[in-house]
Structure 1
Amino acid sequence: MHPKEDDKAQGPDQQPGEQEQAAERLQVFATRLSRMAHEQVQRRASLETRWLEDYRQYHGEYDPATASRLSQAEGSKVYVNITRNKTNAAEARLQDMLFPTDDRNWAIKPTPVPELDNVEPGEMMQSPGGQPIDKSKLAEAVNREAKKKAAAMQSEIDDQLKEGRFQIKCRDVIHDAALMGTGVVKGPIIVGRVKKRWDTGDDGTSVLTIEEAIEPSVERVDPWDFFPDMSARTVDECEFIFERHLWSKRQLREFARLPGALLEQIRAVVRGGKDSTQIAKDYVNDIRGITGVDSVRNDTKYEVWEYHGPIAKDELIDALSESRQDVDMEQIDELDDEVEAVVFFSGNSVLKVVLNPMDTDDRPYSVFNWETDESAIFGFGIPYLMRQPQVVINAAWRMMLDNAGSSASDIIVANRHLIEPADGKWSSQPGKKKLYYLNDKTRDVREAFASFTIPNHQQELAAIFQMARQLADEETNLPLIAQGEQAAHVTDTSSGMAMLMNSANIVLRRAVKNWDDDITRPTISRFYDWNMQYSDDPSIKGDYSVDARGSGALLVREKQQQNLMAYANLSAGNPELAIRRDWAGLDRELAKALEVPYEQLTRSDGEIQKEREARAQQGDPETQLKMAELQLKQQEAQAKAQRDQADLQLRSQEQQWEQQYKGAQLQSDQEVKLAELALKRGLTMAELEARLQLESSKLEADMQKTAAQLQTQRDTKAAEMTEQQNDRLAREQNMAMGHDSY
């Protein structure tokens, strides 16, 4: 090794013997990686057999052993495929939850105590005018700046994900997880994108400009090509990860153009052919056979492996020397004996070696499981979870068809010694008459035939079929309501439907949280780290955290609408809460919940300001409406008070009339009684008149006393009504003046 200027060495000068030794060491290195990859392939063999069974079940095909047994049994071979419906419903439901059309399922937020890059403490301690800022306001200024930078970082990552079609590829990953149990996302990976831009000059002509930009992107990794450390239970525990690529010669030529590619090794792979690089079996033809597509030969495909894991520093130096790259020897010397690297190899040939591009040494793989297996990285999918109910459903349905066919026609037993068919054939055709000859005329012809009916068990078999369907719902935790089918017990009310849907989403909510923990948070975190490391835009850099909020989209739309409306009404009715609310944001969330185009229905800020100024000149319609309502209430109160006064006077007059009538009637009754008494006792008229006058005086005194009591009651009632009316008017005046009612 001979260092050059600036401690750089361009593929250090080596003697022919040293080059051969380096090439041999690289071959030993590739052989070691190939042996490791082959071990992981063997350890995953049983898992691949299960995946093939999942594919057969999803496409409604029996496994070879069952298909052979059914063909020999000469019975029904029908397959009732409810697995596809279950799998597609679960996949669609999860996609709808994780990727709503009007929102993203992640966000970038500042940490509770953010630290900003490229901002000196002295800059934050001074206002724009140069005056020092109060220390109590420093934290608020830092948080405000951190939020601004976090929003810029979020927009940058969102643009990178959209350019890489993140949502589209994640839908494929969800399909893999629902079908096979495991989905794999890879990112960030560096790709060169061609961008087109039209530039218009001063003369009005437009010129097309094509630029190639190097940006991070994401990819979906086929689980068939993903070979992690099978001794690990999670992707974070993996000592290494292998990924298989099946490349054509054209793809190998494109790979050879990349910096750091070992051209001689790539030529050796092409000369050796496809068979020399084969380590793992390609299951594409097996899947084609299941789906009914003719198999194809992949003789033109070369198996290239991508290794992520630790390698020895000497192996890195040999690869860099072979590729003739500019090497910073001081940086190499500072490395540990083992370094985290990315190695491309095929067979016994190393094609490219680079250090892990991330300073965090994070590997670009994230794994999502539909149903987690605590003992392995790979999980279980919907077909596996409902394997046994599917078997029972198929068996019950075949038995129903076989029993229906057998019980539809009777078994006929004929005595050949008694009868003989006229045409010599014992079989009969429907709709045609059959003639028989009786051989023994001494016997009864009814002894020649006997008919037997096979019992029909359709109801019992149908009960088994329905029970198996219910078991499939329970074992997969996907009820009919979660599949878009309405069960018989579902209520017709919107609130009841919302509650039922929320209950049906409990299991899927766990899957969403697993997605947040296993895919969203680590993937977005790696994009954040990549932008912090490689982006030259200081406006996006800061101390942030990733908020994975896919579970926030789980609320049923109707339930969310009700909650938002109740919250808006509660805030509008309380002045303190009204001050706290962001009404523009609440309006946007209401439009989102109602699924209406907010931007098309909402005025611009300028139009809103003009409307406010016009209302200020004309008077606030809302205030005018409240004043009109108050005046109307006052008029109604006055009218009610007048009606109450009139009713009181009428009742008082009626009481007077009734009292006078009762007094007159009492006087008349007394006169009659006195006359009768005088007749009985023989009193003189003078005595009678004296007694009558005495009784009349007493009666008059009683009547005056009763009238006084009535007058006192009327005066008391009138005073109470007057006091109530005055109190009501005082309250209305206070409210009109903006004061409290009391």
Structure 2
Amino acid sequence: MANLGLLQYKTASEMHVEQAAEAQQMAAEEERRRQLVESSLGAHIRRSWESAKTAKQEVEYRLLDCLRRRKGEYSPDKLSAIRKEGGAEIYMMLTATKCRAAGSWIRDIMMPANERPWGLRPTPVADVPDEYIMPVLQQLQQQAMQAQQQGQQVDMAALVEQAREQVRQMAQEKAEEAAERHEVVIADQLSEGGWNDAFEQFVDDFVTYPTSFIRAPILRRVPTLEWLEGWQPVKTTTVRPEFERVSPFDMYPSPDATNIDDGAFIIERARFTRLQLNQLIGVPSFNEESIRRVLEQYGQGGLRDWLWTDGERAELEGRGHEWLTHGETIDGLIYSGGAQGVTLLQWGVNPDDIEDPLAEYEIEAILIGQHVIRVRINRDPLERRPYHKASYQPVPGSFWGQAIPELMADIQDVCNATARSLVNNLAISSGPQVEVYEERLQPNEDPTNIYPWKIWRTKDGNVTGNNAAVRFYQPASNAAELLSVYDAFEKRADDATNIPRYTYGNENVGGAGNTASGLSMLMESANKGIKDAIRHIDRGVMRRVIEALWLYNMQYSDDPSIKGDVNVVARGSSAMLIREQTSMLRQQFLQLTRNETDMSILGMEGRRKLLDSVAEKLDMPGLIPTEEQMEQNLAQQQKAEQAKMEAEQQLEQAKGQAEVAVKQAQAQKYGADAAETQADTQIAQQQAPLDAQHLLAEIAKLIAETQGKQNERTAVESPVANQQQPGRQIPAGNAQVPARGLSRLPGAMPGYA
């Protein structure tokens, strides 16, 4: 280094040396901090783990007992005692039936087909961001200045009140729009993050164990597909929230905990694969060097931290092969707990993350073996831990609740004992008991070989008196009494669990259940018990998960349209009641509005919305057209009606023209007929004289012939008559009658001479 007055300069080589030294110093500091974290924080996690294991020993017995009862298996001690006494080892699956019924009931309510058991609702008084307030204030100032320039009196109080009301309405509308958009975003995150699978497993745990757990949201870098031009797939990665069910066997709360957030810590026992650990390299808050050391030490042979419950748990869960195979998974501990800033600095946490050494910080750390691969401060503003729990029957002041198998444990034991006694009694009373006096049997007789119509060969006894060689005794059957005891205790299970048999299809209800109205009342009473259990899921899981997603989106989403002041509404416990009441009221409303007056008020759009809501509740989406489709349909109908009217008008015109043409044709026909008639009349008039003359000639001829024949007969009969009178001659042959004589003939037409 050289000095030139107040200036200093360094050569390039000197600067490279100093930069290398600084980098080496920073690496050494980072390594020292990492080793300090692994030594001090790792030791703290190990101590917390040991204390949590000790406090959970009794709970682990309960967890195993619940799982055995759900699977229908006896504990090793109980099974040994049963086998020692002999007889049947039957296990009545009453607990499994109740658990399955409760699980399906809860899924039906909490996982509806076309609804969400949650929602976002704006707060009554939504917070107003500055970007909404400033334009209104500027507009208010402009109005006041214009009024003052015009010489008007300005009531600033009224203007301020008007502006306040305007801002409030604007904020409320924006909050409602943001809540609707945010619901869609959260629904998409739940779908892509595996919420349905995790929640189904959670429900199985909920009806089986004293407490069930879900971890959410878990931010993970996951592989995804993107499509380029020509539909070419490209593998990329993205960070998204995911959801996991956590087994109650793997959760270890601190001894002083009564819920997730109030204890000193909570530890999850997790298993990692090599692929999962490799995906964590390069993710913020994960230490790459520690992950590589874990892979180097445990990547080939795995790391299994076996506990005393793991063997029986694996057998009951159907993973008994884990004891026989060489696993490659790596066990780790996920620690979530609070610590003071000074303690975190002593553990080696980066000082840049500690604003106040005396403040309390919530941290999350992952310990694998002796290596802490992650340490981060929980950035949740309310410092809530990413775990959520619920119990079928919570116990006030206790972290663990009561499960269905525990609520009906005594009833299940009595039913098992009764069933075993029933099977043993049926077996022993199914045939006779035989007493054999072997001294009286012949040597070749086998008393164990008994069959119908067998002949027993006996001999005299050496003792006084001949006692019977074979005697038969029939044990009494107690089946009816045992069955009545079993039925009575089986019914008691309905009261103990609030899950009646008729809720899952058992037809033997009796009493009020024999009628439709009575069964409806019984179902409504049974709903109270299951709604109370679902309410625990709403408060402990559903609301917390949706709030965590909402807060994550509010902090890190780039979409400003989804951000707003809202409250999370968990609708699971009231979903069934609301669904039934709403469906019934909508059906009634449909019937009441089927008149012209109400239809004129509702209009086509109102009726469409009502029908659409009813169809959606009936699981018939897409049946009712949308507003745009309805408008298109109405336009098409109007066009069709207009075309039909035009066609009818054209048809009417054509029909009228045809009728006119027909009438004209008829008129022409009538004219032709009249002309023909007139012509016939004229011809008839012209032919009439000729016809008359011809007729007269014919008549005259006929008369002449008639007179000639009479004269001939007269001449034959009287010769005198043949004489001619004097002065008169009648010519022979055809005598002609004088014309004047025709006028005297009877029937002669006047005017003809």
TM-score range, shorter chain: 0.7 to 0.9
- 1:303 and 2:331 are equivalent in the alignment: yes
Q: Are the structure 2 counterparts of residues 498 and 555 from structure 1 closer, same or farther at C-alpha, using a change threshold of 3 Å?
A: farther
Q: Are the structure 2 counterparts of residues 449 and 468 from structure 1 closer, same or farther at C-alpha, using a change threshold of 3 Å?
A: same
- Give 1:484-523 correspondences, 5 Å limit: 484-489=505-510, 491=513, 496-523=518-545
- Larger mean CA deviation between 576-585 and 510-519 belongs to 576-585
- Give 1:189-588 correspondences, 5 Å limit: 189-200=218-229, 205-266=230-291, 269=294, 281=307, 283-290=309-316, 294-297=320-323, 300-313=328-341, 316-317=344-345, 329=352, 332-334=354-356, 336-417=358-439, 419-421=440-442, 423-431=444-452, 433-440=454-461, 447-489=468-510, 491=513, 496-555=518-577, 560-570=582-592, 583-588=607-612
CA drift of 1:255 comes to 3.4
**8 A contact 1:26–1:315 mirrored in 2:** no
- 1:152 and 2:181 are equivalent in the alignment: yes
CA distance in 1, matches of 2:281, 2:174: 45
CA drift of 1:604 comes to 4.8
2:77 to 59, 65, 82: 65
Aligned twin of 1:605: 628
Q: Are the structure 2 counterparts of residues 441 and 537 from structure 1 closer, same or farther at C-alpha, using a change threshold of 3 Å?
A: closer
Letter matched to residue 460 of structure 2: N
CA distance in 1, matches of 2:170, 2:414: 66
TM-score normalised to structure 2 length: 0.71
CA drift of 1:169 comes to 0.9
CA distance in 2, matches of 1:11, 1:242: 36
Q: Are the structure 2 counterparts of residues 121 and 22 from structure 1 closer, same or farther at C-alpha, using a change threshold of 3 Å?
A: closer
CA shift digits 1:56-101 (9 cap, x unpaired): 1111111111111111212111112121111111111101111101
Q: How many residues align?
A: 597
CA drift of 1:392 comes to 0.8
Letter matched to residue 194 of structure 1: P
Letter matched to residue 537 of structure 1: D
**8 A contact 2:122–2:565 mirrored in 1:** yes
**8 A contact 1:177–1:381 mirrored in 2:** yes
CA shift digits 1:620-647 (9 cap, x unpaired): xxxxxxxxxxxxxxxxxxxxxxxxxxxx
Q: Are the structure 2 counterparts of residues 572 and 49 from structure 1 closer, same or farther at C-alpha, using a change threshold of 3 Å?
A: same
CA distance in 2, matches of 1:492, 1:499: 11
Aligned twin of 1:639: none
Letter matched to residue 457 of structure 1: N
CA drift of 1:181 comes to 2.5
Q: Are the structure 2 counterparts of residues 241 and 179 from structure 1 closer, same or farther at C-alpha, using a change threshold of 3 Å?
A: same
Aligned-pair Cα RMSD in Å: 3.7
Aligned twin of 2:690: none
Q: Are the structure 2 counterparts of residues 166 and 18 from structure 1 closer, same or farther at C-alpha, using a change threshold of 3 Å?
A: closer
CA shift digits 1:417-442 (9 cap, x unpaired): 5x213524222332462431232599
CA drift of 1:366 comes to 0.9
CA distance in 1, matches of 2:573, 2:560: 32
Q: Are the structure 2 counterparts of residues 337 and 556 from structure 1 closer, same or farther at C-alpha, using a change threshold of 3 Å?
A: closer
1:78 to 83, 90, 110: 90
Letter matched to residue 623 of structure 2: Q
Aligned twin of 2:113: 101
CA distance in 2, matches of 1:598, 1:15: 61
CA drift of 1:166 comes to 1.1
**8 A contact 1:306–1:344 mirrored in 2:** yes
- Give 1:89-168 correspondences, 5 Å limit: 89-117=101-129, 119-124=131-136, 135=163, 136-168=165-197
- Larger mean CA deviation between 586-595 and 541-550 belongs to 586-595
Letter matched to residue 112 of structure 1: P
Q: What SS does structure 1 have at the residue aligned with 2:66?
A: helix
Aligned twin of 1:725: none
- Larger mean CA deviation between 350-359 and 309-318 belongs to 309-318
Aligned twin of 2:703: none
Aligned twin of 1:594: 618
Q: What SS does structure 2 have at the residue aligned with 1:62?
A: coil
Aligned twin of 2:708: none
Unaligned runs of 5+ in 1: 1-8, 322-326, 620-742
Letter matched to residue 195 of structure 1: T
Structure 1 or 2, whichever has the larger Rg, is 2
CA drift of 1:529 comes to 1.0
CA shift digits 1:309-351 (9 cap, x unpaired): 2234356457767xxxxx684x634464542211111344322
**8 A contact 1:11–1:320 mirrored in 2:** no
**8 A contact 2:441–2:457 mirrored in 1:** yes
CA distance in 2, matches of 1:475, 1:448: 55
Q: What SS does structure 2 have at the residue aligned with 1:218?
A: strand
CA drift of 1:409 comes to 2.2
Aligned twin of 1:633: none
Aligned twin of 1:733: none
Q: What SS does structure 2 have at the residue aligned with 1:53?
A: helix
Aligned twin of 2:716: none
**8 A contact 2:272–2:332 mirrored in 1:** yes
Q: What SS does structure 1 have at the residue aligned with 2:267?
A: strand
CA distance in 1, matches of 2:312, 2:515: 49
**8 A contact 1:371–1:381 mirrored in 2:** yes
CA drift of 1:49 comes to 1.1
Q: What SS does structure 1 have at the residue aligned with 2:322?
A: coil
CA distance in 1, matches of 2:37, 2:580: 66
Q: What SS does structure 2 have at the residue aligned with 1:109?
A: strand
CA distance in 1, matches of 2:394, 2:257: 14
- Give 1:681-696 correspondences, 5 Å limit: none
CA distance in 1, matches of 2:281, 2:346: 18
**8 A contact 1:76–1:402 mirrored in 2:** yes
- Larger mean CA deviation between 52-61 and 116-125 belongs to 116-125
- Larger mean CA deviation between 393-402 and 499-508 belongs to 499-508
CA drift of 1:194 comes to 3.2
